[in-house]
Chain A
Amino acid sequence: MTETATARPVPELTSGWRLAVRSFAQNRLAVLGVGIIVALVLFCFAGPHLYVTEQITVDPVSSLLPPDAAHPLGTDAQGFDVLGRIMRGGQASLQIGLFAALIATAIGTLYGTVAGLAGGVVDGVMMRVVDTLLSIPFLFIVLIAATRFSSTVLSLSLILGAFSWLAPARLVRAEVLSLRSRGFVAAATVMGATKLRIITRHLIPNALGVVIVNITFQVADAIIAVSLLGFLGFGLNYPDVEWGTQLSEGVSYLFEGAWWLIYPVGGCLVLVVMAFNFVGDALRDSIDVRLRRR
């Protein structure tokens, strides 16, 4: 059946994006995910303005205090307020996650588009390059690279971004290839549209969905990756901090019963990654035009 059982004789006024938004909003997990992300972003970026704590000057005397009225989540080994520290660490983790995802997506999209459009030998060679890089374990190469860089938000974003553009490149290429064979591209060609016009008016807007979905997953992956780097000792240094480094430091005091160094930040980390995954899944479902056709 090519027609849906519920063909609408009188079309309602809905845009593609609005429809996507609506189907997205119907996905409770997605709404939850967006809620978590918004909450955590507010918490990390607006929180420090409401809940002002000292995060630069250490306070050795009040180190490792358990939670109390003054420090709702206690203090860490340097005497920093943990609640404030999580906000600060979250800023870096989210920033790196987002930057890395954007870098990776930008490179990947460009690369995938070029390969998909070029086709033939160029495409073959470009895809073998992707295959080659994909077969090198991501974490290995990132860690090896990290031994030679001093860790900053920028350097970590660059390292992660530089090695994680492969998946988006493949995705975008596949999308471009499938879009190229779609009827509306042929229609545009037949009406005399230039290549540039087809790329900018048809291919890019239609591939955008895939790219956006990819960004959310990429952010989730990058946040996990940066936490791993931090945990293995290649994270940010004072006065900066991200969640992986926080966890890594917290582990040293696990036996001291300093649960407040681990669980709040660990929880935030899992929550934000999960939230991005929720959103990615839902976006994929709602942007996928094919689903709507069925």
Chain B
Amino acid sequence: MMAGDGEVLAVEGLSAGIRLRTSAVDAVNGVDLLLRKGETLGLVGESGSGKSMTGLSIMGLLPSGGHVAAGSIKLEGRELVGLPERQYRRIRGNEIAMIFQDPMTSLNPTKTIGEQVAEPIRLHLGASAGQARERALEMLALVGIARPAERLGSYPHELSGGLRQRVMIAMALSCEPKVLIADEPTTALDVTVQAQVLRLLHDLKDRLGMAMLLITHDMGVIARWADRVSVMYAGGIVESAPTRELFTGMRHPYTQALLACTPRLTQPRENTLYSIAGAPPDLLDPPAGCRFAARCAHATERCESEAPPLAATRPGHTLACWHPVDGPLDPATTPAQAPVPDTEQAGPVLDVDDLVKEYGGGRFALRGLKRSVKAVSGVSFAVEPGRTFGLVGESGCGKSTLAKMIVALEPPSSGSVTALGGKLNELRGRALRRHRRNLQMMFQDPLDALDPRMRIGAILREPFEAQGIGTAAEQLAAIRELLDEVGLPHSVLERYPHEFSGGQRQRIALARALALNPRVIVADEPVSALDVSVRSQVLNLMKRLQAKHGLTYVVISHDLTVVRYMADAVGVMYLGKLVEVGSSDDIYLRPAHPYTAGLLAAIPEPDPDAGDRIEIGSEMPSPYEPPSGCRFRTRCPRAQARCAEEEPQPRDFDPGHSAACHFPLREPQVTVRTG
């Protein structure tokens, strides 16, 4: 490739590996990338696909043991591979800058923001301290930080995650680099903030005329913000194309599958989610042929023995596949789920009434923190048997605390939970333990939820033992049945949790939750720790089991698409309050609360044509001192004086659809709630 057409960065045949003590990981294998001025190249792939390693290779910052094995990286025609460290240093942060995933740990905790932003300016531009400060101020203003002069003296911990990521961006852009590598820049942020940051990056890229390499696992982010996309799988690029072309006319079966299993708001709930069988190959010992062959529906013998080269099929569209497909999968091809049977029982199986949880005193008091945290402030809802109630909200809104109170892991400060007619906070000891059978939980991190010292057999047997159910033989039989249900072979019984992949672990956790034949399962972020391709497997399984056993789910997630797919009814939480409750359609199609609407607007849809929507500004305030009146008012575009003075009460908009807002997006029903 010639340097021209505004080509800034050209990566060709890049291979990088990491030497371990006894083995070597073939992390990046023959990657070609091309970045043009003013353009965003999206690099997408699941975890472990080598995206980050590619970015780090370009920066010359591979971790210890890492090395570039082959290939070339040219910055405006200048070869970077093999460049002496002293010269590489002049490029880093100056001509190529990078921002990383976690803004919480990416800033030096003991230096002020000002110092950190000024550092590259002084280093590369030879600015004086005063000049650097001026420039830092300018940069902070540029990335949209209010009162930048005050922020200069702040320390990172005083800033919210979104602000920190803005600081990171300011720092990266302070020398106006030619190339910006953004490695999962928003993964650690809430969805509303994610949208803000991505927009900022996009605007700045245009303003500064940079080329941006946007590394992400999220097809939605790619669809919205990238001009061109390269898809990575197991260390190699499998397909590259302009964004629109990739989403509408992808050729690689992996690209096709990846897009298919990315959940959308428009996903038909009655159909199963598309999922990719198996798991990515072990890069310690990669397969000889196409690395996707083992999971590919179109694979032939050739695929397993011969690796397809990356070749241009059309100008600007390259592909590495022997058996290309054509365009996206038809959603209708996925089979339908078994319908959830209507249960005969009337009345809710779970009734949450005015739950409040405040932390304070106790352990915090010992540390000198007398302030109390109002984690959950008066939440009420009910779930019908066999239904799924979804709870959404940004991190820190009290979702998890609520989940713990529902399963009686934490006592509420006030209010009550009634499950199957039993008031949990009135039950004690044996009675409570017996009652727990009906109420199980799935945790976000299945590895954390499985005792690392226990074999799977013991883990699955534990519910029976804890409840004193059955003889050893009966327990074993039941366990085998459970394994069959979650699709795991019986041989797993002898193994330990760390030997499994995340998806397999979540299956085990689900099997355990099912063991006692519960009526209700509370799933707290059941798939957020999983990769997209595995995520849909677990969600499908959950749905299937619900249908089979008539389970009632409470699904808690920050991911609105997951809840959209799973839930019949949805509650939206904000700062400990349930601001809107309604049927799934009510919430997703007819939101009344501005917050709900904002959340929905922030979701990056994996569709390049989705277009722009209203976004919520700023970030959630501290739960230590929630705003008076309506807690959302500080971020609400519709807020007025009344919102600060008066706390809005829930009002009905549709049957079963209520929202607490003074100035809702829709007119409420006239009926006034009593009591």
Contact = CB atoms under 8 A, between A and B. Distances in A.
CB–CB under 8 A between A and B in the complex? yes
Interface of A: 1-9, 11-16, 19, 26, 119-120, 124, 182-184, 186-194, 197, 201-202, 205-206, 289, 292-293
B453 A16 contact: yes
* B362, B452, B515: residue with the most chain A Cβ atoms closer than 10 Å: B452
Interface in B205-226: none
Contact of B48 (A1, A120, A201, A202): A1
A6 B502 contact: no
Given A6-B283, A124-B366, A12 B462 contact: no
B600 to A, nearest CB: 26
A293 B501 CA distance: 11
Contact of B451 (A9, A14, A206): A206
A17 to B, nearest CB: 8
Contact of B439 (A4, A13, A190, A201): A190
Given A3-B48, A5-B48, A292 B449 contact: no
B330 interface: no
B342 to A, nearest CB: 28
A191 B463 contact: yes
Interface string B454-496: 1100000011011100000000000000000000000010111
B453 A206 contact: yes
A189 B498 contact: no
A205 B455 CA distance: 13
A26 B492 CA distance: 26
Contacts of B344: none
* B443, B462, B494, B512: residue with the most chain A Cβ atoms closer than 10 Å: B462
Contact of B492 (A1, A3, A11, A194): A11
A183 B453 contact: no
Contacts of B25: 5-6
Contacts of B409: 186, 189-190
Nearest to A290: B452
A173 to B, nearest CB: 13
Contacts of B437: 191-192
A19 B455 CA distance: 13
A26 B21 contact: yes
20 contacts: A2-B47, A3-B48, A3-B501, A5-B27, A6-B25, A7-B279, A7-B502, A8-B282, A9-B281, A9-B282, A15-B455, A124-B366, A183-B443, A184-B452, A188-B466, A189-B436, A190-B439, A191-B463, A201-B454, A201-B462
A203 to B, nearest CB: 10
B450 A191 contact: no
Contacts of A205: 451, 453-454
Nearest to B432: A192
Contacts of A186: 404, 409, 441, 443, 449
Interface in B255-298: 278-284
Interface residues of B, number: 63
A119 B364 CA distance: 12
A119 B366 CA distance: 11
Contacts of A15: 455, 496
A193 B452 contact: no
A119 B363 contact: yes
Interface in B619-635: none
A205 B458 CA distance: 13
B204 interface: no
B436 A190 contact: yes
B447 A9 contact: no
Nearest to A15: B496
B282 A7 contact: yes
B369 interface: no
Given A5-B48, A186-B409, A193-B466, A120 B279 contact: no
B552 to A, nearest CB: 15
Contact of B462 (A183, A191, A206): A191
Contacts of A182: 448-449
A184 B433 contact: no
Contacts of A197: 465-466
* A3, A26, A187, A194: residue with the most chain B Cβ atoms closer than 10 Å: A187
Contact of A1 (B47, B279, B499, B504): B47
